[in-house]
Chain A
Amino acid sequence: MLSRIAESMFWIGRYVERAEDTSRLLQTHLRLLVEDTSSEVDVCRNLLGLMSVSHVEHPTHEDLLRVLGYDAKEPTSIFACWAAARDNARRAREVIPLSLWECINTTWHQLPSGRFRSARAHTFLDWARERSALFTGIARGTMVRDDGWEFMSLGRALEQVDMTSRLVASASLRSGHTSWPSVLRGCGGHDAFLRTYRGLHTDREAAQFLILDSRFPRSVMHGLQTASHCLSRLTSASGQDARQSQFPTRALGQLRARLEYSDIGDLVDNLDQEMTWVQEVAADVTAAVTTNFFAAEDPTAWITEGTR
């Protein structure tokens, strides 16, 4: 598969997943905001900080919606995610099933163009989650399991690892009051969690479930495993020597071992650091995949005769 197309597929996977996870994160925190006792500005600033947004002074929940939701100019917004996904899909149009392209294109056309009041926020966020779910479903039902699919799955898995770690870290933002149930709900895993732990849960179990339970498809561990599988299939399918995926595979494996074998108490106590570490590994793996698989062309410099 063409390197340029592979890169587009990877980013389509990432952006669609990011749009979904961002709406989950926003919904979770819009709900929490109502019950929160600390100041709105602090909570919003922390949350934006978690999403690596630092340029908003005294953010309110409306800024939150704007920056992460509908503002086309903010690179972190759901709007920007879909726009970027469509841009990539347009470049990879000939390898994407028609129905999948139509799903992306329709979503992009339906994106709200301006600001809206926070009363409509939940409708928008629900819609955003549904569009990502529709995309995932159509992709699963129509795409051939070739390299393109693997690159897209790899992108999705890495993004999901990254975003779940941010969502988990956001649970520790709120001191003195438990936000774990909301975070679990945000991941769509509250019921599964209750079934697994029979309702006798503590923060520690919730963290364990979201980070380590590989049976839950939004857990960090599940994402790491999926990413490793994609990499190994890509390596064997392309018939190349394993060097291309050596570093990323090793980085993912090391992270898995680190999470799996550390004491859960320590994990919960150092949640921020551990989750930052997860995000760093996801970024490193992305960088390595980019250089190893999407090999940028050597820059060519042209010199006109006689100018030397």
Chain B
Amino acid sequence: MADLLTHYRAGAAFDEMVDDEGSVRPSYHAIHATLDSSTPAELKQIAESLANDYVQAGVTFDIGGVERPFPLDLVPRVIASPEWETIEAGVAQRVRALEAFLADVYSDARVIADGVIPSQLITSSNHYHRAVWGVHPGNGVRIHVAGVDLIRTPEGDVRVLEDNVRVPSGVSYVMTNRSAMITALPDAFANQRIRPVASYPQRLLAALRAAGQPTTDNPTVVVLTPGVYNSAYFEHTLLARTMGVELVEGRDLECRRGKVFMRTTAGLQRVDVIYRRIDDDYIDPVHFRSDSMLGVPGLVNAVRTGGVVLANAIGNGVADDKLIYTYVPDLIRYYLAEQPIIANVDTWRLEEDEAREEVLDRLDELVVKPVDGSGGKGIVIGPRASAAELDALRARVIADPRGWIAQPVVQLSTVPTLIDDELKPRHVDLRPFAVNSGDGVWVLPGGLTRVALPEGELVVNSSQGGGSKDTWVLSPPAHRVPSEPEELPAAEPEPTPAPPEAAPRDAAPSGPLKLGRMPSPLMPLRLGTQRQGSQSQRQGSQSQRQASRPQEEQQQQANGCADGQEALSC
């Protein structure tokens, strides 16, 4: 395997594992050692078993109605503890600012009066919904879940690429990737402490319950899915299952007098909080698309009268519009009086005449994106596009400048990725997930690292055939105290006495011993009673076994009573 790693050559972009001189960065030492001690054949086997597990478990992503296993690469992306603290703070800061922004634009819009944002930016947004103007969520939260896409530039800086505060998806793969990787590379996990991701469903449920708490003590939470044909259906089931709540479709719900009920075998049951995974456009045929067969008629009215809480709130799309994105640093300064912790990627607003002219001149070297797109749809990468595509784009931009932004082509950072039999650099981004319970924003340690599998490809979206990697956030050294149960290393194979350095010298002299710091007992503990077996199996001691020998022989001989042996019964 040493060959594979010595032959690994990082490209022009920033490589997460190897620095410019070709030496391994400290945070990757453990995973590098694990890879180094495996043969290509072993790695291939691990990769195959990972893929196979995902097919069997139905961890899939639907593309055009066809279920496909979500590709998981076996080389994880590792984030050192100090860097993670910056990311965590930066993501939380953005969520707080966007939360304040949404509260503002759906009430008196100070931000416009104070001249931070032009008013037509709001009024021209397709996702600003007047139907929810003046609706105040009980605990003030509109962004219960956010996904903030981060990239790393060739210089090594982390930047925000976009915010997702409508229905960000992908968190299920963070959890399934981790559990798959623990079985695939146990050594790498044993050699370092990685912050766990499994508490996400509990955090989410707590946030959803908190959202319903102002009106009822014990809110009923449900997850609303568009149905089995949705690309993220797997995620919806996983979240409902791990939160222990019902997964409903629109047709399972019914609105009556401003309240929402679900149809059960025991009649109608009240629903207080809906974690909806359906876009605004489809959620209520009365207010939005009347041809929607996925939504629940009357839901918006129920929200307005406070009969139900939607998470995330309706109308959040105005905050993750890519044109608003260019103003987020200003919003952070305006609402929080803080400096942005993570900067944006440089962006041209095509509405502004000067910017548009410059961009139209340089279309072939920029990335142009629709402001309300998701899933990588509609993105044109200048250097890759044909002349015809660029001409078409130029016409579309001139026709609707509000609908587009432009950014320089950023060479995303790379992580070694197993392609066929070799490790090759492939571009990645990172989507950390934040949950806002009203008492604070919690950021899931890690997030979804998406990887573009074709060589040189920069679009990493799952819907564009991207894969994923497990994301390891290393625990800071302070987390390694053995008293924290979740941080305990994997069980030691033998009950040996603790190593000498674990026996604290200062506790040894007179005075009561501290039980918590005792070395493990020399005698193995006897737990549980003797297990019972049937008569023939319960031959514990040697003497009994010898005594039963004749019986055994007789049983063997009894088959062949014809051959003259003494047999007891035939």
A contact set with B: CB distance below 8 Å: 1-6, 87, 90-91, 93-95, 98, 101-102, 105-106, 109, 147, 151, 234, 238-240, 293-295, 297, 300, 302, 304
Asked whether A2 and B246 contact (CB < 8 A) given A90-B228, A238-B266, A297-B254, the answer is yes
Question: Which 8 A-B residue pairs are closest in the complex by CB-CB distance?
Answer: A93-B237, A94-B240, A94-B241, A238-B266, A94-B247, A105-B58, A6-B265, A3-B263
List B residues 238-259 near A (Cβ within 8 Å): 238, 240-241, 246-249, 251-252, 254
Q: How far apart are the CA atoms of A297 and B249 in the complex, in Å?
A: 12
Instruction: Choose from A2, A105, A300 the contact partner of B252 (Cβ within 8 Å).
Output: A2
Residue of B nearest to A294 (CB): B265
A94 shortest CB reach to chain B, Å? 4
Q: Which of B249, B267, B290 has the most CB of A within 10 A?
A: B267
A241 shortest CB reach to chain B, Å? 11
B290→A302 contact, CB < 8 A = yes
**Which B residues are CB-close (under 8 A) to A95?**
241
Instruction: Choose from B56, B223, B238, B266 the contact partner of A109 (Cβ within 8 Å).
Output: B56
B252→A3 contact, CB < 8 A = yes
A103 shortest CB reach to chain B, Å? 9
B176 shortest CB reach to chain A, Å? 11
Q: How far apart are the CA atoms of A293 and B266 in the complex, in Å?
A: 8
A1→B241 contact, CB < 8 A = no
B263→A2 contact, CB < 8 A = yes
B290→A90 contact, CB < 8 A = no
Instruction: Choose from B249, B263, B297 the contact partner of A300 (Cβ within 8 Å).
Output: B297
Residue of A nearest to B249 (CB): A4
A106→B56 contact, CB < 8 A = yes
Judged by DSSP, the binding face of B is mixed
A1→B265 contact, CB < 8 A = yes
Q: How far apart are the CA atoms of A144 and B228 in the complex, in Å?
A: 24
Answer yes or no: B408 CB below 8 A from chain A CBs. no
Supplied contacts A94-B240, A151-B265, A302-B297, 6 more A-B pairs, CB within 8 Å: A2-B264, A6-B265, A91-B228, A93-B58, A94-B237, A102-B57
A4→B58 contact, CB < 8 A = no
Instruction: Choose from B55, B228, B238, B248 the contact partner of A2 (Cβ within 8 Å).
Output: B248
Instruction: Choose from B228, B246, B263, B297 the contact partner of A295 (Cβ within 8 Å).
Output: B263
Q: How far apart are the CA atoms of A151 and B265 in the complex, in Å?
A: 10
Q: How far apart are the CA atoms of A66 and B552 in the complex, in Å?
A: 50
A240→B263 contact, CB < 8 A = no
**Which A residues are CB-close (under 8 A) to B246?**
2, 5, 94
A297→B267 contact, CB < 8 A = no
Q: Which of B223, B233, B265 has the most CB of A within 10 A?
A: B265
**10 A–B contacts, CB within 8 A, in A order:** A2-B248, A2-B263, A5-B246, A94-B246, A102-B57, A240-B266, A293-B265, A294-B265, A302-B290, A302-B297
A9 shortest CB reach to chain B, Å? 10
B263→A101 contact, CB < 8 A = no
**Which B residues are CB-close (under 8 A) to A91?**
228
Asked whether A105 and B247 contact (CB < 8 A) given A1-B264, A297-B254, A300-B297, the answer is no
Interface size band for B: 20 to 34
Q: How far apart are the CA atoms of A95 and B265 in the complex, in Å?
A: 15
Q: How far apart are the CA atoms of A229 and B241 in the complex, in Å?
A: 28
Q: How far apart are the CA atoms of A5 and B222 in the complex, in Å?
A: 14
**Which B residues are CB-close (under 8 A) to A4?**
249, 251-252, 263
**Which B residues are CB-close (under 8 A) to A6?**
264-265
**Which A residues are CB-close (under 8 A) to B285?**
302
Answer yes or no: B319 CB below 8 A from chain A CBs. no
Asked whether A101 and B297 contact (CB < 8 A) given A3-B265, A6-B265, A93-B247, the answer is no
**Which B residues are CB-close (under 8 A) to A109?**
55-56
B contact set with A: CB distance below 8 Å: 55-58, 223, 228, 233, 237-238, 240-241, 246-249, 251-252, 254, 262-267, 285, 290, 297
B171 shortest CB reach to chain A, Å? 15
A88 shortest CB reach to chain B, Å? 10
A167 shortest CB reach to chain B, Å? 31
Q: Which of B55, B241, B290 has the most CB of A within 10 A?
A: B241
Q: Which of A1, A2, A234, A238 has the most CB of B within 10 A?
A: A2
Asked whether A90 and B264 contact (CB < 8 A) given A2-B252, A4-B251, A302-B285, the answer is no
B265→A147 contact, CB < 8 A = yes
**Which B residues are CB-close (under 8 A) to A294?**
265
Q: How far apart are the CA atoms of A4 and B253 in the complex, in Å?
A: 11
Q: How far apart are the CA atoms of A240 and B267 in the complex, in Å?
A: 9
**Which B residues are CB-close (under 8 A) to A238?**
265-266
Q: Which of B56, B57, B238, B266 has the most CB of A within 10 A?
A: B266
Q: How far apart are the CA atoms of A137 and B94 in the complex, in Å?
A: 50
B284 shortest CB reach to chain A, Å? 12
A102→B56 contact, CB < 8 A = yes
**Which B residues are CB-close (under 8 A) to A304?**
290
B241→A297 contact, CB < 8 A = no
**Which B residues are CB-close (under 8 A) to A293?**
265
**Which B residues are CB-close (under 8 A) to A87?**
228
**Which B residues are CB-close (under 8 A) to A3?**
252, 263-265
Residue of A nearest to B57 (CB): A102
Asked whether A2 and B262 contact (CB < 8 A) given A93-B241, A297-B251, A300-B297, the answer is yes
A105→B290 contact, CB < 8 A = no
B237→A105 contact, CB < 8 A = no
Residue of B nearest to A4 (CB): B252
Residue of A nearest to B245 (CB): A94
Asked whether A297 and B55 contact (CB < 8 A) given A4-B251, A90-B228, A94-B240, the answer is no
Q: How far apart are the CA atoms of A239 and B267 in the complex, in Å?
A: 10
Q: How far apart are the CA atoms of A207 and B266 in the complex, in Å?
A: 40
**Which B residues are CB-close (under 8 A) to A94?**
223, 237-238, 240-241, 246-247
Q: How far apart are the CA atoms of A94 and B297 in the complex, in Å?
A: 25
Q: How far apart are the CA atoms of A3 and B261 in the complex, in Å?
A: 12
A306 shortest CB reach to chain B, Å? 13
Q: How far apart are the CA atoms of A147 and B263 in the complex, in Å?
A: 14
Residue of B nearest to A96 (CB): B241
Q: How far apart are the CA atoms of A2 and B238 in the complex, in Å?
A: 17
**Which B residues are CB-close (under 8 A) to A2?**
246, 248, 252, 262-265
Residue of B nearest to A239 (CB): B266
A105→B57 contact, CB < 8 A = yes
Q: How far apart are the CA atoms of A297 and B264 in the complex, in Å?
A: 11
Q: How far apart are the CA atoms of A160 and B432 in the complex, in Å?
A: 50
**Which B residues are CB-close (under 8 A) to A1?**
264-266
**Which B residues are CB-close (under 8 A) to A102?**
56-58
Q: Which of A1, A90, A94, A293 has the most CB of B within 10 A?
A: A94
Residue of A nearest to B248 (CB): A2
A298 shortest CB reach to chain B, Å? 9
Q: How far apart are the CA atoms of A295 and B249 in the complex, in Å?
A: 15
**Which A residues are CB-close (under 8 A) to B249?**
4
B266→A90 contact, CB < 8 A = no
Q: How far apart are the CA atoms of A304 and B286 in the complex, in Å?
A: 10
**Which A residues are CB-close (under 8 A) to B248?**
2
**Which B residues are CB-close (under 8 A) to A239?**
266
**Which A residues are CB-close (under 8 A) to B237?**
90, 93-94
Residue of B nearest to A91 (CB): B228
**Which A residues are CB-close (under 8 A) to B58?**
90, 93, 101-102, 105
A105→B56 contact, CB < 8 A = yes
Residue of A nearest to B243 (CB): A94
Q: How far apart are the CA atoms of A300 and B248 in the complex, in Å?
A: 18
Q: Which of B223, B246, B264 has the most CB of A within 10 A?
A: B264
A211 shortest CB reach to chain B, Å? 31
**Which B residues are CB-close (under 8 A) to A151?**
265
Residue of A nearest to B223 (CB): A94
**Which B residues are CB-close (under 8 A) to A302?**
285, 290, 297
A98→B57 contact, CB < 8 A = yes
**Which A residues are CB-close (under 8 A) to B265?**
1-3, 6, 147, 151, 234, 238, 293-294
Asked whether A297 and B263 contact (CB < 8 A) given A2-B246, A94-B241, the answer is yes
